[in-house]
């Protein structure tokens, strides 16, 4: 039996669909991740665990402490008592408990907890993920549609990125279960194409037939602008954690997925059909 925390999230939806298609027996965790009683009940009989739950989309530092760090700590305590044999934890490139950026600092702290949790683990650090329902490509397009006649390029759009399709990432997560050599390892994954941010924006706008004039946004104004326009939202489209990706390059070896998992991830343009669906303009106003 496999337990998935955060099964209804962006990664969780792709992962659980893939688990079902592959014939795995799994169930979604339901309840607060900090509740020891609920954790104890739902971990009964679980052999393997995907720990996806997190509060990144809310854009609140206090929730990172409560949900991500304290929740991971409680989960590991109960999973160890329940005899869970393997935990797979998705993390981020740049995760570091000493990072200046709150999300990367939290991911680094959670990694430390997982490594010291007494359960065999695999940590998959990844670059930015994209796909249906993401908070990356759909936000970029939505903002461009609303900011006519401009499209904003933080720092001129020079930051390097290697986005990875979420369906390919889900496949890597599942493959970890069948690769004992990846136990107690930290793996770094990214797509096999490297772009400057402005190139990604141009591709997205080109696919959708949208024309905008690029306008450089100084990095010194990026954080204050996001806080001014989006900080008051319950589910902000652009949070401080979205902004952080423009300060820390998310790159890895171009063959990382092929080297560890034996397949080539789909390229950016090969997966963009999901952007054509109706209502994409309103994506920035939805969770």
Q: Tell me: the pLDDT tens digits for 101-158?
A: 888 999 999 999 999 999 999 999 999 999 988 888 888 888 888 778 988 888 888 9
Number of H helices, E strands in the chain: 11, 12
| CA 70 – CA 7 distance, rounded (Å) | 19
CA dihedral 274, 92, 189, 34 (to 10 degrees): -80
Look at residue 228 in the predicted model and tell me its pLDDT: 56
Residues of the chain by 3-state class (helix, strand, coil), percent to 5: 50, 15, 35
Contacts of 104 (CB under 8 A, 6+ apart): 92, 94, 95, 96, 244, 248
- pTM of the entire structure? 0.90
| CA 267 – CA 207 distance, rounded (Å) | 14
Task: Give the position of tokens 């905008």.
Answer: 212
- DSSP assignment of 203-225 equals HHHHHHT---EEEEE-HHHHHHH
CATH architecture of 2-129+164-190+252-265: 3-Layer(aba) Sandwich (3.40)
The domain spans of the chain are 2-129+164-190+252-265
The H-assigned helical ranges of the chain are 10-21, 36-42, 61-63, 70-82, 102-115, 137-146, 166-175, 197-208, 219-230, 240-244, 256-261
- Spell out the long-range contacts of 131-136 with Cβ–Cβ below 8 A and sequence spacing 24 or more: 131/10, 131/14, 131/165, 131/166, 131/167, 131/271, 131/274, 132/166, 132/274, 133/10, 133/13, 134/10, 134/166, 135/10, 135/57, 135/237, 135/242, 136/163, 136/242
Tallying the residues shown for the chain, one arrives at 287
Look at residue 102 in the predicted model and tell me its pLDDT: 87
Task: Give the position of tokens 């991740």.
Answer: 33
Give the chain's residues under pLDDT 50.
Answer: 287
Contact 132, 121 (CB under 8 A): no
How does strand 185-189 pair with strand 164-165? unpaired
């Amino acid at each position: 039996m496999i337990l998935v925390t955060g099964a209804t999230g962006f990664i969780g939806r792709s992962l659980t669909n893939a688990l079902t298609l592959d014939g795995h027996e799994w169930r979604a965790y339901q309840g607060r991740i900090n509740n020891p009683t609920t954790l104890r009940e739902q971990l009964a009989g679980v052999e393997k665990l995907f720990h996806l739950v997190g509060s990144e989309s809310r854009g609140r530092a206090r929730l990172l402490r409560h949900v991500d760090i304290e929740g991971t700590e409680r989960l590991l305590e109960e999973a160890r008592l329940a005899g869970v044999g393997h935990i797979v934890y998705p993390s981020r490139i740049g995760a570091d408990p000493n990072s200046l950026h709150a999300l990367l600092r939290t991911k680094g702290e959670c990694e430390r907890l997982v490594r010291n949790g007494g359960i065999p683990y695999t940590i998959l650090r990844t670059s930015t993920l994209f796909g249906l329902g993401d908070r990356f490509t759909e936000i970029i397009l939505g903002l461009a549609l609303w900011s006519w006649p401009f499209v904003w390029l933080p720092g001129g759009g020079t930051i390097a990125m290697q986005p990875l399709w979420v369906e390919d990432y889900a496949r890597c997560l599942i493959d970890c279960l069948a690769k004992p050599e990846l136990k107690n390892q930290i793996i770094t994954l990214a797509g096999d194409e490297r772009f400057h941010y402005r190139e990604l924006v141009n591709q997205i706008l080109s696919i959708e037939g949208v024309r905008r004039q690029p306008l450089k946004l100084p990095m010194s104004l990026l954080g204050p602008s996001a806080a001014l326009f989006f900080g008051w939202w319950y589910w902000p489209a652009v949070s401080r954690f979205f902004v952080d990706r423009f300060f820390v390059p998310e790159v890895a070896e171009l063959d990382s997925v092929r080297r560890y998992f034996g397949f080539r991830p789909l390229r950016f343009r090969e997966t963009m059909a999901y952007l054509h669906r109706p209502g994409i303009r309103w994506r920035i106003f939805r969770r």
